[in-house]
Amino acid sequence: MPAWELPYWQAEYSREPWGFSALDYLTGKLAHQLIAATGRLQPGTTIADLCCQDPFECGELSEEEYAQLDGDEQIAYSRRLVARTKQVLS
C-alpha cells in the first residue's frame, strides 16, 4: 500500500471498521487494476467509477439478504448481476 493511502484507510476504519464502503473501494481498485492490465481501461476511468454504493446495486448481497427479497426483486437483482458482468467483460 502506498504511503498516501494510509490516511484514507485509517479514516475509513474509524468511520466503519472495514465495512461495505471500504470493501467496495478495494474491489473497485482491484477492478481498475485488472482492467488496466488487460488493456481495456478507457481514458478517464477512475476507481470511483468502478465502485458501488449499494450492495443491491452491485451484487454484493449475502445469501440471507437475497432470501429476504421477494420474487420480483430477486429477478431484478439477478439481471443486475448479469448486466454488470457483461459490462466488466466487454
- The pLDDT value given to residue 37: 95
Q: Using one digit for the tens of pLDDT, what is the confidence trace for 3-52?
A: 888 888 777 777 665 566 777 788 889 999 999 999 999 999 998 888 87
**DSSP label at 59?**
T
Residue with more model confidence, 1 or 74: 74
- The pLDDT value given to residue 18: 59
Question: What's this model's pTM, rounded to 2 decimal places?
Answer: 0.45
In the chain, where the domains are located: 1-48, 52-90
80: confidence class by pLDDT, cuts 50, 70, 90: confident
- Alpha carbon of 3 to those of 7, 10, 65: distances in Å? 8, 12, 36
Yes or no: say if 60 and 52 are a contact pair by the CB < 8 Å rule.
Answer: yes
- The pLDDT value given to residue 53: 67
Direct distance between the N- and C-terminal alpha carbons of the chain, in angstroms, rounded to an integer: 29
Residue 18 makes CB contacts below 8 A (sequence gap 6+) with 12
Yes or no: say if 16 and 22 are a contact pair by the CB < 8 Å rule.
Answer: yes
**Whole-angstrom distance, CA of residue 25 vs CA of residue 32:** 10
